[in-house]
Amino acid sequence: MASVYVIQTGRTTWDEQTRIESAPGAPLTATGRQDVADAARELAALSISAIYACGGEAEQQTAELVAEAAGAKVRTSEELRELDYGLWQGLTREEIKRRQPKLYRQWTDSPASVRPPGGETLDEARHRLCKAVRDIVKRHKNGRALLVLRPVAFALLRCMARHEGLGRLWQNAGEGCCWQVLEADPADWDGS
């Protein structure tokens, strides 16, 4: 079994506006920063050796706050980025629902069956994330690495570690900043 520490970023200004957010994202709110600082104090006791985050603003802010508390180095991995929402990027959920009601309903009911216009599917994001996790786990066999993720990427990894289908995506999404250790057989990160 391999342990993977993951943290979901704190809330961003776009989260508070219910805007769809991939990269480069929006900054953390004051509440988001405080939630991350609280989690960072807990994570500091775990001897985290490295923190991996994509270059998005919320991901980097979250990583830096945890790094300061844990005394760990931040490394960038663009493969850990949030799902690419394509043309939905920056729109509110209500705007998407109004413009594309059938596609939005399908997204909420069966997210694995939808490709946001100009974006990527959950399966494509899952494969990308699995490769990144596999590489990071290999690099840190004797250490503890923390992955900083946005909500959908966080939920995808939870689904995989729990052997749940992507139909359970929304049940695995965290509310605001949260962290956990995912225990998984290395084969779980093969992306299939």
* Spatial CA neighbour of 88 closest among 56, 123, 120: 120
* Spatial CA neighbour of 161 closest among 136, 126, 128: 126
Q: Kindly write down the DSSP assignment for every residue of 131-162, as one continuous string.
A: HHHHHHHHHTTTS-EEEEE-HHHHHHHHHHHT
Asked if residue 108 has pLDDT above 60, the reply is yes
Mean pLDDT of 129-150: 89
Encoded amino acid at 42, one letter:
E
Specify whether domain 14-147+159-190 bears CATH 3.40.50.1240. Answer: yes
Q: Which pairing describes strands 2-8 and 178-184: parallel, antiparallel, or unpaired?
A: antiparallel
Mean pLDDT of 115-143: 91
Pick from 80-84, 119-123, 186-190: least confident: 186-190
Q: Can you give the pLDDT at residue 186?
A: 62
Q: Can you give the pLDDT at residue 190?
A: 63
Distance in angstroms (rounded) separating the CA atoms of residues 137 and 180: 16
| 57-70 helix and 30-44 helix, angle to the nearest 10 degrees | 40
Q: Can you give the pLDDT at residue 8?
A: 95
Q: Can you give the pLDDT at residue 53?
A: 97
Pick from 30-34, 128-132, 142-146: least confident: 142-146
Q: Can you give the pLDDT at residue 121?
A: 96
Task: Summarize pLDDT for 149-165 with one digit per residue, the tens.
Answer: 999 999 999 888 888 88
> Before 111, cis peptide (omega within 30)?
no
Exposure string of 59-75, with b = 16+ CB inside 10 Å and e = fewer, is bbbbbbbbbebbebebe
